[in-house]
Structure 1
Amino acid sequence: MTDVVSTVANCAGLKVHYRSAGTPENPPVVLLHGGGFDSAGLSWKHTIPALADDFRVIAPDLPGYGGSDPPDASVSMEYYVSVLGRFLDAVAIDTTALIGISMGGGIALGFALDDPDRVSKLVLVDSYGLGGTVPGGPLGYAFTRLGLTGLTFSLLSRSRTMTALALRSVIEGKPDDVLVSEAFAGLRRHDGTTWDAFQKNEVGPWGLRTNYIGRLPDLAVPTLVVHGEHDPIVPVSWAVRAGTLIPDVKARLIPNCGHMPPREKPTEFNELVREFC
């Protein structure tokens, strides 16, 4: 069994917890989780050991998530892109493959666009940043402004059953008991403050603040776009469109899968990623 080690990196005064596996001599792969109640351990539980034989795998908890410090500046996509640079410096990685899911995909994409020399390959999984439409339209925008995120987190953290229902709204089919337990534990550790702040920065009345569509033709990194065919959060059309705009790209849809391919279809997902990287 692959040993997964928990460590803390000091990123210019910001303590970032991360999980790692594999030998330092192997090429690095950095995994970036999504927002909400996600964390490195939740999204990448099966991916870290699956890649560890061939890569040095590193999965940080972003500031405000998991075991990391709260954010030390206003929470936005630009902030997380800058934190990624600080983290890579702290763990002495010059160039790496980046794999990001949802919000983490947007961070990986933004970093690859700004600093392509530090990214060897890029994998975008049901990624944020590939479109500008607000999920839920005006109602979705109003939700972020009414401060309901904290209330939602509070309700979910009190009920394992409610957590299971929340997961069913983002994945295809019924979540397994292990995933529900891990998500429930994550909700009990956090109050949603960081996710609420990110949404308030990113969600505007007329669309999402971060939309990299116009920059995709300039992306100078080999890219794999992976998307759950039935993702209810990020439209599959965004992934298909990205597959026509990025110069060096492969796009793959995973059937019978929602917003969390690494947990819903770990075998298929890990095979795609290993082959590409």
Structure 2
Amino acid sequence: MTGFATVTDLELAGGPVRLYTAGDKEREPVLLLHGAMLDTVELLWHRVLPALARTHRVYAIDLPKHGGSRPWQRTVDQELCELLVEQLLDHLEVERISLVGHSMGGGIAIGYSLHHPERVSRAVFSAPGGIGARRPMQLGTWLALRAPGLLRASSRYLANSATAIRRSMVRGLAAGAAADDFDRIVELARAEAQAKSRHREKALDDWQILAYGPFGMRLDFLPELGRLEVPSLWLRGADDQLVGDREVRQAAAAAPGGRLAVISGAGHLLPLDQPAEFHRLTADFLAEGRP
């Protein structure tokens, strides 16, 4: 990553944040927000970031308790993540920016776009979290998330099992072990698992845990999307097993002027499964907002 991006360590919203920057500073700015669990800037965006940097000033951050953004003592919920984005833009002296958020980062981007539309030019929500009233096995998942010690034990297990990490990546990527950069992806995921264990973090993010209620999701932006003032592109992998087709279609339809694109040959990890198509759709959409 350092071959094409500047890396800066900041203090924002009460904790350390690692910022990656690439592209000409005179170009339109865009902020990339990655997903949960073992995700980092270097893992998820390693193909998309340099491609976008050819036409944009690109910023990307390791979200709290990920990558270089450690250690964090605070609970990292939706409110804190939106505060983090706000303070980052103030630090960068950027008045308006386009957001590209994936999974958990997509949910963060939705909330920020709803609450601060004056600072968001356009938004790309890739397989976003934070949409939908219920999830499969809602009560069972809620109970498991609160089982004492389970998530920290899971974190230790992943840190000590290269086989488990590799198996997880094979299942998570549409092409499995044949995916481009597969060995590098596994290496980065394993390094992140070890960092989580070393810092005594849970296997799942606070954001994920707090989104769940026993009988329904506590974080669901679908009912609010009718007042979204930001032009939006909604992306989903055709084979995504985590974010439902119905929810993404409902979200795109509810958002005024929202647009939907389904990417074939991709599951949940769109920027890794189909980075070229992800970049093409994103870059074309962002270009529409240029003067």
SS of equivalent to 1:183:
helix
- State which of 156, 159, 162 in structure 2 corresponds to 1:160: 162
Q: Which residue of 1 aligns with 2:289?
A: none
Shift of 1:40: 1.3
> d(CA) in 2 for partners of 1:13 and 1:204?
27
Judging changes above 3 Å, is the alpha-carbon distance between structure 1 residues 200 and 242 closer, same or farther for their aligned structure 2 residues?
Answer: closer
Shift of 1:136: 3.5
Contact 1:18-1:40 within 8 A present in 2 as well: no
Contact 1:18-1:60 within 8 A present in 2 as well: yes
- State which of 259, 265, 274 in structure 2 corresponds to 1:265: 274
Per-residue CA deviations over 1:4-36 (Å, capped at 9, x if unaligned) read: 111112326532101110011111000001111
Q: Which residue of 1 aligns with 2:62?
A: 61
Count residues in correspondence. Answer: 277
Per-residue CA deviations over 1:226-272 (Å, capped at 9, x if unaligned) read: 01111111112211111211111110011121111101110111111
> d(CA) in 2 for partners of 1:129 and 1:226?
14
Q: Which residue of 2 aligns with 1:230?
A: 239
> d(CA) in 2 for partners of 1:173 and 1:138?
32
- State which of 158, 174, 184 in structure 2 corresponds to 1:178: 184
Equivalent runs, 1:190-205 vs 2, <5 Å? 190-191=196-197, 192-193=201-202, 195-205=204-214
Aligned letter for 1:154?
R
Bigger mean CA offset, 226-235 vs 147-156? 147-156
SS of equivalent to 1:187:
helix
Contact 1:97-1:119 within 8 A present in 2 as well: yes
- State which of 195, 206, 224 in structure 2 corresponds to 1:189: 195
Shift of 1:163: 0.5
Shift of 1:171: 3.2
**Structure 1, unaligned runs of 5 or more:** none
Aligned letter for 1:186?
E
Q: Which residue of 1 aligns with 2:223?
A: 214
Shift of 1:139: 2.1
Contact 2:124-2:282 within 8 A present in 1 as well: yes
- TM-score normalised according to structure 1 size: 0.94
Are 1:119 and 2:120 an aligned pair?
Answer: yes
> d(CA) in 1 for partners of 2:205 and 2:227?
31
**Structure 2, unaligned runs of 5 or more:** 287-291
Bigger mean CA offset, 19-28 vs 9-18? 9-18
Aligned letter for 1:200?
I
Shift of 1:103: 0.5
Aligned letter for 1:184?
R
Contact 2:131-2:247 within 8 A present in 1 as well: yes
> d(CA) in 1 for partners of 2:188 and 2:70?
20
Contact 1:71-1:194 within 8 A present in 2 as well: no
Judging changes above 3 Å, is the alpha-carbon distance between structure 1 residues 189 and 246 closer, same or farther for their aligned structure 2 residues?
Answer: same
Contact 2:128-2:243 within 8 A present in 1 as well: yes
Aligned letter for 1:149?
L
Are 1:3 and 2:4 an aligned pair?
Answer: yes
Contact 1:105-1:124 within 8 A present in 2 as well: yes
Per-residue CA deviations over 1:107-135 (Å, capped at 9, x if unaligned) read: 00100000101000000000011212234
> d(CA) in 2 for partners of 1:135 and 1:45?
31
Shift of 1:140: 1.4
Aligned letter for 1:229?
A
SS of equivalent to 1:244:
helix
Aligned letter for 1:226?
L
> d(CA) in 2 for partners of 1:187 and 1:241?
34
Per-residue CA deviations over 1:158-201 (Å, capped at 9, x if unaligned) read: 12221022223433241422211211111111134383533332
- TM-score normalised according to structure 2 size: 0.90
Are 1:244 and 2:250 an aligned pair?
Answer: no
Shift of 1:72: 5.0
> d(CA) in 2 for partners of 1:88 and 1:112?
13
Contact 1:9-1:87 within 8 A present in 2 as well: no
Aligned letter for 1:187?
A
Percent identity at matched positions?
Answer: 32
> d(CA) in 1 for partners of 2:43 and 2:8?
17
